[in-house]
Amino acid sequence: MTSSKKTAVVTGASSGIGAVYADRLAARGFDLVLVARRADRLASLAEKLSKQYGIKVQSLVADLEKDEDIAKVEHVLANDPSVTMLVNNAGLARLRTMAESTRDDSRAQMALNVVALTRLTETVLPVFVARNEGTIINVASVLAVESWAISSVYSGTKAYVLAFSRGIQDELAKANSNVKLQVVLPASTATEIWTEGVSGVPMSALKQDTIMTTENCVDAALSGLDMGEAITMPSVENDSLWTTYDTARAHLFAATQTGTPASRYRKA
């Protein structure tokens, strides 16, 4: 992960977690393709990183809620042989009850959190598999394993990211592939999703001691990647909690494989 001949594509790169990923990967020697909607911010970040780290940075202005803009990124992933990493960071939260939500809210979250991430992953995965090399980082959320009254759609999209990614991880493991896929599940993180009021919940409404900086979040996630973690939860101290959770999940699934209704559903 140190050669300047390798390129990382980072979505949602103009601020927050994506911008920190860009910085940290640049420090590791990656050239970059930065993807986001805001051209001015991308240009500023690209100039800063190229000067600071002596790398090549391409800005790709794209709104990943739009099919034609996803296609721009797909073209890079499919045709640039230097690309060895994809960071699917772009995401959207609209934290409202379903009664208060609009269809546009729901569709926007599904378009960005699910459709764009899926399309970019399915574009780059065969390329990486053919080379037997490459890394995909899918940024989900701790709300992938928890749903609140205000997070039904958001939690649903992030649960999809987790389940989708785990299926690919199983696929890669069974093929003995060197391609890596990591899923990152941040908790509350100090990004513009709160400060701009985009989510519908202001940062001031959060418990302040639960909010992680974007720098700490990304540094922890990359440490997890270096350690070979498939699932990284930056704020969870006791990593055995995930093992316990995942073991219980596997046991629950195994218990479904009987072909017979449970006794409590059978009439006496």
Long-range contacts of 205-210 (CB under 8 A, 24+ apart): 210/235
Rounded Cα distance between 142 and 140, Å, is 7
E runs forming strands in 12-76: 31-36, 57-61
Structure tokens given for 227: 């350690």
Q: 154, 160, 245, 265: which one is catalytic?
A: 154
Judge whether 154 counts as a catalytic residue: yes
| Distant-in-sequence, close-in-space partners of 14: CB < 8 Å, separation ≥ 6 | 34, 36, 37, 38, 41, 42, 45
Q: Which residues contact 87 (CB under 8 A, 6 or more apart)?
A: 8, 9, 10, 11, 18, 21, 25, 137, 139
As annotated, the active-site residues are 154
